[in-house]
Structure 1
Amino acid sequence: MGHEVCLRLARSGSGVLVVDPDAAAAEVTAAEVRRSRVSGWTLQADPATEPADDQLVAGRARDLGGADLLVTSGMTARAALALGRALLIEPVLVPGPRDLDASRTAAAVLGLLRDADPGAVVVL
């Protein structure tokens, strides 16, 4: 799901920081993001299982100029909101769909983000 969400965000003109515990998988996604002529960066981290990785993600996002939104997969709502607090000024939790295939999930997430204010934390 995360891969498809990243690609759809890129197609809509958003730069994307791809965070994944698998560096090779993150680079594959970021390379596809860059094909949409937007910035795509990678970070090998796993905030879903390593709470200390929140600071790595937040620091990398700050280095890149900040973040407007956060889309997470595999994290609890509490963990996603904690990461959102490290990244965003006023994070607002937005539950994402959980029972759709990757393509439909990505489309639903873009719909949520289109209607959300900056600072949305979408939890898949």
Structure 2
Amino acid sequence: MLLRWKLGVVVGGGVGAGHEVCLRLGRSGASVLVVDADAAAAEATAAEVRRSRVSAWSLQADLATEPHDDQLVAGRARDLGGADLVITTGLGARTALGLGRLLLDDPVLVPGPRDLDGSRTAAAVLGLLRDAAADPVVLL
């Protein structure tokens, strides 16, 4: 999958591996919607992504504890033209796939690496995305 001009939704993108994934998506030419329970962390990540001269937005939402925040994320992604890929950190497979069904036409759950540091995880995720068919949901 060519990442340039795509919109990636990264849940848990404010810190750790999610933060690194956001930065690498931006460097690859993708726009990023950074979703995190911590609004300040999400905005800081979005600001850093924008330094790569791509669009990035932040959204405060906690999909792990708030059952209706998935609708909030889906609505914002639709406002931005629709998501092309979803990366989640800290969510179970059922929640991640449920979000994928809201955001993508035909979501495919792709398990990502969990035992690597943030930078190596981000590199592995981008490799998975480049090799993926349309509508991937990467679960970290």
**Residues 47-58 of structure 1: matches in 2 within 5 Å?**
47-58=63-74
List structure 1 runs of 4+ shifted beyond 3 angstroms: none
Structure 1 partner of 2:85:
69
1:81 aligned to 2:97? yes
Extract unaligned runs of 5+ from structure 1: none
Q: Residue 112 of structure 2 is aligned with which of 72, 77, 96?
A: 96
Distance 2:134 2:44 in 1: 27
> How large is the Cα RMSD of the aligned pairs?
0.5
Q: By how many angstroms is 1:3 displaced?
A: 0.3
CA distance in 1, matches of 2:43, 2:70: 20
1:44 to 35, 60, 77: 60
- Normalised to the residue count of structure 2, the TM-score between the two structures is 0.87
Cα displacement string for residues 20-67 of structure 1 (whole angstroms, at most 9, x for unaligned residues): 111100010000000000000011001122121000000000000000
- The residue number in structure 1 matching 2:130 is 114
Q: Which residue of 2 aligns with 1:21?
A: 37
Task: Give the count of matched residue pairs.
Answer: 124
Aligned equivalent of 2:22: 6
2:9 maps to what in 1? none
Deviation of the 1:118 alpha carbon: 2.0
Q: Aligned to 1:71, what secondary structure does the other structure show?
A: strand
Q: Which runs of 5+ in 2 are unaligned?
A: 1-16
Q: Distance in 1 between matches of 2:63 and 2:80?
A: 18
- Report the AA paired with residue 4 of structure 1: E
